[in-house]
Amino acid sequence: MNPITFSTLACPAWSIETIIAKASAFGYDGIEWRGGPKGHVQPTLSQSQKAGLRNMSRDAGLMAIAVTAYTGFTSNSFYARQANIDELCRYCDLAAELGASYVRTFLGELPESTNLSNLIHENIAYSLETAADYARSVGVKIAVEPHDDFVRSSTMTRFFHRHPSHPALRVIWDLGNTFAAGENPAEGFDLLKDHLAYVQVKDGKKSGDKWQLCSVGKGDVPLSEAFGLLSGAGYTGALSVEWEYAWHPKLDPPEIALPDALRTVRELLAAAQSESA
């Protein structure tokens, strides 16, 4: 059975204790912890805070699927890229201490009026490989998020061609982000299936170039098709609900959205597994 988790992007006002209690009460299997200055976890947490979070999660029967580092590697400056590599490595240490499997990173936005040149591609690839080498040494993996100028799977997979079998470098399949960029699930799955860390689930309604987030199962994202592809391939990894309440406070609050999303994901998963049986 695929573990179902949620990102703490959904509940910026909840304490760590509340997040763990609610995740357990709702019936989730784990948590995707948001880092950064506005997140719930950072490398600067004390040893007692890290131990407390890990122990509370263990006692509640919850896994930590990932911690999110808001790092990127598109800068033209070597020193800026190195600072981001160092930050990502600090988050690898944090993930290891919290018992998380992955550290989620972004690639960043391309500098203004700049295309994805060979130089930028090599800079990003080198940064990812350096961080992934360190991640491997502490027992975690890097999970790259499709975002900004790197949403489409065809762009993401370029970074796996140079070192396709790195054991600590993976990619997240964000079903909402890729669909909003005009990609269909079959295309995304075919490109990413050999590199998947886990799958992020969100939904939204698309009208022309406009994109509006909505409750999971109520929008235009072909979730049933995506779940069918995953189930048919025997995917057993995590499905993580990304409810972007921190960015969009007009959405339903987490105490409403998260239980509803869990119920819908379970229904979609059961239907997909039934069809592929």
| 175-276-226 Cα angle (round to 5) | 10
pLDDT tens digits, 145-155: 988 888 888 88
CA 229 to CA 235: how far, in whole Å?
Answer: 9
pTM: 0.94
Work out the mean pLDDT of the chain and round it to a whole number. 93
With 0-12 / 13-18 / 19 or more C-beta atoms within 10 angstroms meaning exposed / middle / buried, residue 76 is: exposed
What element of type H or E holds 230?
helix 223-232
Tens of pLDDT along 9-28?
Answer: 999 999 999 999 999 999 99
Confidence of residue 156 (pLDDT cuts 50, 70, 90): confident
Cα separation, 258 vs 95, whole angstroms: 24
The torsion angles phi and psi of 9, rounded to 5 degrees, stand at -60, -25
* Residues in CB range of 29: below 8 A, 6 or more apart: 3, 4, 5, 62, 63, 238
**Multiple choice CATH, 4-276, 3.40.50.720, 1.20.1260.10, 3.20.20.150, 1.10.10.1110:** 3.20.20.150
Q: Where are the domains of the chain?
A: 4-276
Single out the residue of 17, 19, 28, 109 nearest to residue 63, CA to CA.
28
Whether 71 has a pLDDT exceeding 60, the answer reads yes
**Angular region, 217: left φ>0, alpha ψ -120 to 50, beta rest:** left
Cβ-proximal residues to 274 (8 Å cutoff; 6+ apart), any chain: none
The residues, ordered by sequence, that sit 6+ positions from 64 with a Cβ below 8 Å of its Cβ are: 30, 31, 32, 33, 54, 57, 95, 98, 99, 100, 101
Under the banding of pLDDT at 50, 70 and 90, the label for residue 258 is: very high
**Cβ 192 vs Cβ 173: under 8 Å:** yes
Which one is predicted more confidently, 1 or 136? 136
> Can you tell me the distance from the alpha carbon of 145 to that of 153, in angstroms, rounded to the nearest whole number?
10
pLDDT digits (tens, 9 = 90+) for 79-130: 999 999 999 999 999 999 999 999 999 998 887 767 677 777 888 889 999 9
Q: What is the mean pLDDT of residues 41-70?
A: 96
Give me the DSSP letters along 83-128.
Answer: HHHHHHHHHHHHHHHHT-SEEEE---PPPTT----HHHHHHHHHHH
Strand 30-34 versus strand 203-207 pairing type: unpaired
